[in-house]
Amino acid sequence: MSASPTGKSGTGASLRHVLGHLVTPLLMCIGMGLAYLGAFHAPEPHHLRVDVVGSGQSAQVLAQTLHDKGAGALDVRTVVDRSAARSQLMDREIYGAYVPGAEPELMVATAGSDTTATVVQKVFTELAAKQGAPLRVTDVAPVSSGDPTGQGLFFLLVALSIGSYASVAVIGGAGAVLPLRIRALLALGMSLVVSAIGAVFAGPLFHLVDQGLAGVWAMSWLYTAGILLVGVGLHTFLKRWTTLGVMVLFVMLNFTSSGGIFKPELQSGFFASLHSFWNGAGFIEGARGHVNFDGNGVGRSVLVLALWFVAGAAVMGAAALGEAARRRREAAAPAGAEVMTADAEAGAAAGVPAGRPALAGRGAHAGPVASEGPVEEELEEAVGV
């Protein structure tokens, strides 16, 4: 006599079910540790571009000495005058410019990256101290008044991302019964809402930006819309693994490569390479360029965000094809069900109990399997997928 679904057999099946779901948080823990510690635990400069102002022999010798002494940490070149150095700082081609002399000066742009400016300042403060002169620091692009650490945009990125991928969980899970076009409209609608909340954070609430709020909102919308479209489309294929998938894409790899805390020149090659095309970096660098650097580099950043939006639309298109194919398979299923019904009727005519064919087809564990559907739905709702 088989065990009752509510007895030991049912408990074992339920335990295996829970243990299977616990794989997801373990993978999240491992992924977050590898990503954040790998990206942030030991920042050090790699080919950090700085300039020495001057065209004479002494400037050339100083630049070469600093370059050689840095052993790959610094990429030091010369620039003809202070005006040219300032232009390169505003174009974000360099991170510091040293003007030697009796009163040495270091030009930086903290709005580009406060942590990078701090690293550059440390190098040239030591150089000026050896020459017996105090270093004067000039900030050609200071951070916004409401963002003294220069990291406010990064935390805005975090808020936008969480609002986006949490919406993916709800639309993809609770809204799975809705047609895909309705889910797509919900995704675009939520991107407007989340980006509007982000604009309130950036402007009137925390004053992260002193100007250009409309442009920051537009990039916020493009960023969130890309995440939502990619995530909702992926849910068709990943199902309960969607939360883990979007966390890998838009948290683990995204936050760590965005440049919001450390620029790629202070990170390992892997995260530095992601910075060139990942969507978080597109938002951070685009917002910085728009607000603090007279629009320099904004076009490329907007292109990155637009390509992620297009990728999201492509994933939604693939999801539409996948769901259409599934509907065709489900429409063909009743024919097979009719055959099974006919077999059952034939068995009944031969004196076989009506419930026996179904149990035989399901196997010895028919009870727990039959009860797994509601439990699966409940767990998926609990974890938000």
H or E stretch at 346: helix 298-349
Q: Dihedrals φ, ψ of 76, to 5°?
A: -105, 130
* Residues 166-181: tens digit of each pLDDT: 999 999 888 889 999 9
Residue 372 predicted with pLDDT over 50 = no
Task: Please tell me the distance from the alpha carbon of residue 199 to that of residue 86, in angstroms, as a whole number.
Answer: 30
Does the pTM of the predicted model rise above 0.85? Answer: no
Task: Please tell me the distance from the alpha carbon of residue 223 to that of residue 246, in angstroms, as a whole number.
Answer: 14
Task: Please tell me the distance from the alpha carbon of residue 284 to that of residue 266, in angstroms, as a whole number.
Answer: 16
Angstrom distances, CA of residue 293 to CA of 85, 86, 226? 14, 11, 25
Strands 136-139 and 105-108: parallel
| pLDDT at position 272 | 93
Nearest to 149 by CA among 43, 260, 61: 260
User: Is 21 in a helix, a strand, or coil?
Assistant: helix
pLDDT band at 338 (very low <50, low <70, confident <90, very high): low
* Residues 31-70: tens digit of each pLDDT: 999 999 999 988 999 999 999 999 889 999 999 999 998 8
* Residues 72-91: tens digit of each pLDDT: 899 999 999 999 999 999 99
